Amino acid sequence: MECARGADVAVVCVGDLAGLFQTGTVGEGSDADSLDLPGVQQQLLEAVVATGKPVVVVLTSGRPYNLGGLEDEVAALVMAFAGGQEGGTALVDVLTGRVEPSGRLSVSVPKNVGAVPYYYNHKMKSAGTPIALHFGSRYPFGHGLGYTRFEFADLALDATEVDAGVGEIRLRFTVRNTGSRAGVAVPQLYVRDLLASVVRPVKELKAFGRVELRAGESARVTFEVPTDMLCFTGKEGRRVVEPGEFELQVGASSADMRLRGVVRLTGAVHPLGGEWRMESRCSVER
């Protein structure tokens, strides 16, 4: 606390002790029954926040944790996960602003341990569905902030009808840096199957890209998604692509959708053979 009082900004590093079978706080066989920080780290964080100085929390961990309600009181929260031997160097670059943060969450951070396991691509009313207001995710899959803001606009589809068997969905939109400094946008494309023969997830990530933009600069982003990527395991145990309507959702995370459109797959049900087209593409035109 004395160190924090004498500083302009306090960087508080918290997280896990890696180890197998309860030799650490995270690792194989080291399960947890809460989202609380291990040991006395929560008390440390509360004491530093109480000094009134701006607090940046660096969380090095192998699982999500919460900050005991301090999420809205700290100046910033960096989830560094397990950075390896160059993790410290990368962290300094991000904290000093030398490098624009462009990482995005590959997991959801639940609000409450009762929601675990929580994942963004759940099926309606299945495991992972937030059914209480205090459930769901505080920081959703795909979330990540930087030092500027971005606007998404002008969604356009090359075609609103695409052949289910051999087609490819192409959509374009504009990303604009509306802030005062350069930054990195990570636009993400999620797809929702509006009506299928089996219950489908509420959304699934199908494409994403990385767009570096100066302040005020804009770019036209194109996503190309083969129809094979909309496949699922049907009632007969085979991977198929069904015709029908699919909602396309473009946003900054799985919970922050900015643009929406609908494409219709046409033709007959298409069983996948040995060659699957399962790679989407992103291109950027300035």
Query: Is 106 domain-assigned?
Result: no
Q: Which domain holds residue 233?
A: 150-285
How confident is the model at residue 69, as a pLDDT? 92
pLDDT band at 131 (very low <50, low <70, confident <90, very high): low
Kindly state the average pLDDT of the residues 256-270: 98
How confident is the model at residue 124, as a pLDDT? 76
Mean pLDDT of the residues in the chain: 93
Tell me, what CATH number does 169's domain have? Answer: 2.60.40.10
pLDDT band at 136 (very low <50, low <70, confident <90, very high): confident
In total, how many domains does the chain have? 1
Query: Is 73 domain-assigned?
Result: no
How confident is the model at residue 279, as a pLDDT? 97
Report pLDDT digits (tens) over 25-79: 999 998 888 999 999 999 999 999 999 999 999 999 999 999 999 999 999 999 9
Query: Is 224 domain-assigned?
Result: yes
Query: Is 52 domain-assigned?
Result: no
Residues 229 and 191: their CA atoms lie apart, in Å, by: 10
Report pLDDT digits (tens) over 176-196: 999 999 999 999 999 999 999
How confident is the model at residue 122, as a pLDDT? 87
Query: Is 207 domain-assigned?
Result: yes
Query: Is 14 domain-assigned?
Result: no
Query: Is 88 domain-assigned?
Result: no
How confident is the model at residue 135, as a pLDDT? 73
Report pLDDT digits (tens) over 70-124: 999 999 999 999 888 999 999 999 999 999 999 999 999 988 888 888 889 988 7
How confident is the model at residue 128, as a pLDDT? 56
Q: Tell me the DSSP string of the chain.
A: -HHHHTSSSEEEEEE--B-STTSSSBSTT---SSSSPSTTHHHHHHHHHTTTS-EEEEEE-SS----TT-TTTSSEEEE-----TTHHHHHHHHHTTSS------SS-EESSGGG-S--TTPBTTSTT---STT-SEEE-TT----SS-EEEEEEEES-SEEETTT-EEEEEEEEEE-SSS-EEE--EEEEEESS-SS--BS-EEEEE--EEE-TT-EEEEEEEEEGGGG-EE-TTS-EEE--EEEEEEEEEETTEEEEEEEEEEESS-EE--S------EEEEE-
How confident is the model at residue 106, as a pLDDT? 94
Query: Is 191 domain-assigned?
Result: yes
How confident is the model at residue 31, as a pLDDT? 86
Kindly state the average pLDDT of the residues 4-24: 93
